[in-house]
Amino acid sequence: MSEPESPPIDWRALEEAALTVRTRAHAPYSGYHVGAAILVRSGRVFSGCNVENATFGLTICAERSALVQMVAAGERDPVAVVVATRGPSAAAPCGMCRQSLAEFALDLPIRLIVAPPPGEAAQAPKLTSLAELLPDAFRGDALSR
């Protein structure tokens, strides 16, 4: 039995999902709002935003928030991710998020976008990959069983 074909990547729709959920972020301490949208092989899109906590250690990033939604829905096969931040330049996922994404797909294309402040021009999106951001990722097959 062959693996189902990946759906076409509608980057614009993924960007909109990431930008929309970014507005719902809870970031009262840093003021740094992030949104992420993950497209899975079935064609569904899962989004998440960062949720800060006064202890900081309990903060969850947007990318991991979207991954949790994906897994809770029974999906395990991401094919593309968009991360939306706001700032002087597009920001890549943190190390913890990179490792969390690597649990599911090493060849994952990731599009990084910036939501500009009102009145400022948008920057061009940056397309990268998880393999580029996390070379030699640690994976479950490295564990002795």
pLDDT value at residue 97? 96
- The verdict on whether residue 97 carries a ligand-binding annotation is yes
DSSP-derived letter for residue 106 is S
Higher pLDDT, 2 or 130: 130
pLDDT at 119: 74
Q: Which residues pair with 38 in a beta bridge?
A: 46, 81
The pLDDT tens digits of the residues spanning 7-61 come to 899 999 999 999 999 999 999 999 999 999 999 999 999 999 999 999 989 999 9
- pTM (predicted TM-score): 0.91
Nearest residue to 6 (alpha-carbon basis) of 43, 47, 44, 46: 43
The span from the CA of 119 to the CA of 77, in Å, is 38
Which CATH number, 3.40.1110.10, 2.60.450.10, 3.40.140.10, 3.40.50.970, labels domain 11-133? 3.40.140.10
The catalytically annotated residue of 63, 75, 103, 120 is 63
Residue 76 tokens read as 């395990």
Specify whether 52 is catalytic: no
* Domain ranges, ordered by start, for the chain: 11-133
Stretch 91-107: mean pLDDT:
94
Question: What is the per-residue pLDDT for 145?
Answer: 64
- Identify whether the C-beta of residue 36 lies closer than 8 Å to the C-beta of residue 18: yes
